[in-house]
Amino acid sequence: MFATAVPGLARLAGRELETLDGVRVTGYGFDGRSDVVLLDVDRGRRRQLRSVRTIEDLFAEVGRTLRTDGDRPHWIASRTWQPERVQRALSIWAEEAGPLTPAITFRVIARVLQETSFLRTDLRRELAAAVSRDKRKWSIADPARLEVWISEYAPGRLVAGIRLSDASMRQHRGRVTERSGALRPTVAAAMVGLAGPAGGLLLDPCCGSGTILAEALAAGWEAEGRDADPAAMDVSRRNVPAAAVKVGDARRLDLAGASVGACVSNLPFGQQYDVQGEMGQWLAAVLAETARVTRPGGRVILLAPQLPRSVVPAQLRMRERHQIRLLGTKTTIWAYDRA
């Protein structure tokens, strides 16, 4: 099997996957659009993969090949569409999608890292032809009931599979109200995971649509949010009614010192939403407040393109950071321990 994740989140997704019994991560890659995580999963352990909140899509593998074994679309298609493995993958797909009727619609999605030898569209066409030869009653459509994906997850290495997930997996059942610039749920889940085991109250001082609050509640935390925009508060309350949210300035939080177990936030950085005052001063004030309200031993997890050392207070010690890409824009998850 294999899974995809937001670019830059593969290792964090791998950590979550390896907490599951009978699941082993065997490799990582990137197909030009998404990170790819390759998996071995024991029989009877597949269903628990649905609980992993850091992956975007899940696939039952049907074959792999190398460009060095034959760098032509027809050859690659014949090597990756392996009928015996296809039947096993279809059995997995049918467990959740329902009975597999003889006549079904399908489509092929192809991703390659370079088009020197052939075009991505050529590979898509040849794989669709291989599927049609094997499954003569199937028909090509878009949208389709079943999707076959083939990805070059590393230079010269390709993997194909049947998509088991739908949009509800990456959207975590969606938000009641959408707001421009809302954080992807899988990224919010990764950030909450970096905050460590649930322990009391998690605060998002710039909570926006409430995505981080929702993931905190799902992970077992109590959750509170603040945002300077009253309109954001209305959205957050609709999306996460179980969290306590109110209007508040992240530079002057209405909380006692050392009163929260973790602070986790997607900080505005002047594109979708502006901040009050000069950005460096704003960041320094916000980080000082997150350090003040977080108890020693807790964590502060922030999403921002840059956090210069000059804005980070002495109480926050860098633990790790992960550069990711969202909608083509590079940004970074910064994880600090509160000393």
Secondary structure (DSSP) of 260-323: EEEEEEE---SSSS--SS-HHHHHHHHHHHHHHHEEEEEEEEEEES---GGGS-TTEEEEEEEE
Question: What pLDDT score does 264 carry?
Answer: 98
Q: Considering Cα of 33, then 144, then 172, then 38, what sign does the dihedral take?
A: negative
Residue ranges in the chain modelled with pLDDT below 70: 173-174, 176-181, 269-277
| CA gap 62, 284 in Å, rounded | 51
Contact between 28 and 55 (Cβ < 8 Å): no
* Per-residue pLDDT reduced to its tens digit, 1-22: 999 999 999 999 999 999 999 9
Contact between 225 and 198 (Cβ < 8 Å): no
For 18, the token pair is 């390896």
Question: What pLDDT score does 336 carry?
Answer: 98
Q: Which structural domains are found in the chain, ordered by start?
A: 2-169 (3.30.2130.30), 172-338 (3.40.50.150)
Name the helix (H) or strand (E) containing 92: helix 83-97
Question: What pLDDT score does 181 carry?
Answer: 66
Contacts of 278 by beta carbon, 8 Å cutoff, 6+ apart: none
- Whole-prediction pTM: 0.94
CA dihedral 125, 131, 134, 136 (to 10 degrees): -90
Instruction: Give φ, ψ of 98 to 5 degrees.
Output: 105, 175
